[in-house]
Structure 1
Amino acid sequence: MSTDTDQLAQLKVLRDSVTRSMMMYKFGMDEVLTKINILRQEFNHVHDYNPIENVSSRLKSPESILGKLRRKNARFTQAGLDEHVRDIAGIRVTTSFITDVFRIRDLLLQQQDITLVDERDYVTTPKPNGYASLHLILKVPVFLSSEVRDVMVEVQIRTIAMDFWASLEHKIYYKYQGAVPAELIEELRGAAEIAHRLDAKMESLHNQVAELKNGTEPNPAHSLFGFSIADNSFDKLVKAALEMTSADPVLEVE
């Protein structure tokens, strides 16, 4: 009887530990997602174009985490997770162009509360199978009621073309349960090269369009959060705001 009680107690401790860990990783992921979404909204309303096409996120399941720990003969401890399972919290950012991949990377890393733990650049040097993406392991603080915990979050940044190729490869490997025919692997490698050339071509076209732009285009700041403001109205608005800030402050008395 005592043995059963001990086992139940151990299971409860393990369950509570897993729950706390998953909660922390979700909080860490939410912190990084907030930072990315702030950048995304800023680009939408202030800059010429938004380099962030899409953002997705996921948490590994407890079963997947425990399975990976078993394969690596590691224990379910924070040290074991930090060393062997750094992608529990994962965020994927797809960008318009290759240069945007590194632009988003730099914008994230310049934030004071983000620490770069590890970086794998498969964009500059793709994997032999053609896979291309930038992988970052970031450490971000999570502020709780009683403590501050550092949480690791993986961020993958890649272009739309790279993401399409990776999605296709994943579906093929899933269909064949890992035993993909050699000729299909070669086809995938060729498709990766085509995707890379497409990225280069689209970026070249984007740069040509940027060079042709002149000063007659409307300022994106004139259309904030879906409200369009004509140039003359915008100028009047700015002038009125400047006059208000230069005037003596007036307190409204009820």
Structure 2
Amino acid sequence: MEAMEIPRDVAEWNNLILIYKFALKEIDTKLNILNEEFQFIHAHNPIEHIKSRVKTTDSIIGKLKRKGYDVTLENAKEYIHDIAGIRIICSFTSDIYTIYELIKKQSDVKIIEVKDYIKTPKPNGYQSLHLIVEVPIFLSDRAEPVKVEIQIRTIAMDFWASLEHKIFYKFNKAVPEGITDQLKECADVVSNLDHRMLSIRNVMAQYK
């Protein structure tokens, strides 16, 4: 029985998704190597855990339409920078910037964009360090540069962002003012908690 032939446009979109999966593997391998080496040298893991995902074709197409672009592979690669996304969760805010510096030193990783929502949180209190990087993926017939979004945040920041995300969709973006006020207060608590935890860690480091 002959295998059903995949329509050309579907095959091309599937190939695009595959390339972004390769990019995630490339970044994930780099991060794990850096984390293990850092543990060996400094007896400390800056990375608690890593989450990754690739957008579905429907999600990419929907975002292109919302942004007003024609639905093409070229526009997806040019204008949708979070097709592949990695979230790095750390214990301390200092780890966030340590990881950022380690990523910057990778000779084959190009930093395209940096948004620091820790030094300048969003109005709702959201905190995280966002990077758009470009990494070369070596295929059988070519090397292709692929963009990956990297979000780096503490455990407390991630907990807050997860709750905010659930509330955002629960109320279909129209979140009652009372809840938004409470979320902002919680964001302030998270910021204070991260600061105090880092202070404790720095005091502990003085004891050998």
Report TM bin, short chain. Answer: over 0.9
Which has the greater radius of gyration?
A: 1
Is residue 2:201 matched to residue 1:206? Answer: yes
Q: Superposition pairs for residues 182-193 of structure 1, below 5 Å?
A: 182-193=177-188
SS across alignment from 2:7: helix
* Cross-structure match for 1:107: 102
Q: Which of residues 10, 34, 38 is equivalent to 1:15?
A: 10
AA at the equivalent of 1:116: I
Q: Superposition pairs for residues 89-100 of structure 1, below 5 Å?
A: 89-100=84-95
For structure 1, the residue ranges without an aligned partner over 5 or more in a row are: 1-8, 214-254
Q: Which of residues 121, 129, 152 is equivalent to 1:126?
A: 121
8 Å Cα contact 2:13/2:73 also seen in 1: no
AA at the equivalent of 2:23: G
8 Å Cα contact 2:65/2:71 also seen in 1: no
Q: Superposition pairs for residues 97-246 of structure 1, below 5 Å?
A: 97-213=92-208
* Cross-structure match for 2:77: 82
TM-score if structure 1 supplies the norm length? 0.77
For structure 2, the residue ranges without an aligned partner over 5 or more in a row are: none
Cα RMSD of the aligned pairs, angstroms, is: 1.5
SS across alignment from 1:52: coil
What are the superposed Cα offsets for residues 106-155 of structure 1, whole Å, 9 maximum, x if unpaired?
Answer: 10110100000111110110000000000000100001111100000000
Q: Which of residues 35, 40, 47 is equivalent to 1:40?
A: 35
For 1:120 and 1:83, how far apart are their aligned partners in 2?
Answer: 19
AA at the equivalent of 2:146: V
SS across alignment from 2:205: helix
- Deviation, 1:78, is 4.3
- Deviation, 1:62, is 0.7
* Cross-structure match for 1:49: 44
TM-score if structure 2 supplies the norm length? 0.94
- Deviation, 1:172, is 1.1
AA at the equivalent of 2:17: M
SS across alignment from 2:48: strand
- Deviation, 1:165, is 0.4
For 2:9 and 2:91, how far apart are their aligned partners in 1?
Answer: 43
What are the superposed Cα offsets for residues 188-245 of structure 1, whole Å, 9 maximum, x if unpaired?
Answer: 00000000000000000000000122xxxxxxxxxxxxxxxxxxxxxxxxxxxxxxxx
- Deviation, 1:173, is 1.3
For 1:67 and 1:108, how far apart are their aligned partners in 2?
Answer: 31
- Higher mean C-alpha displacement, 79-88 vs 153-162: 79-88
For 2:62 and 2:48, how far apart are their aligned partners in 1?
Answer: 33
Moved over 4 A (4+): none
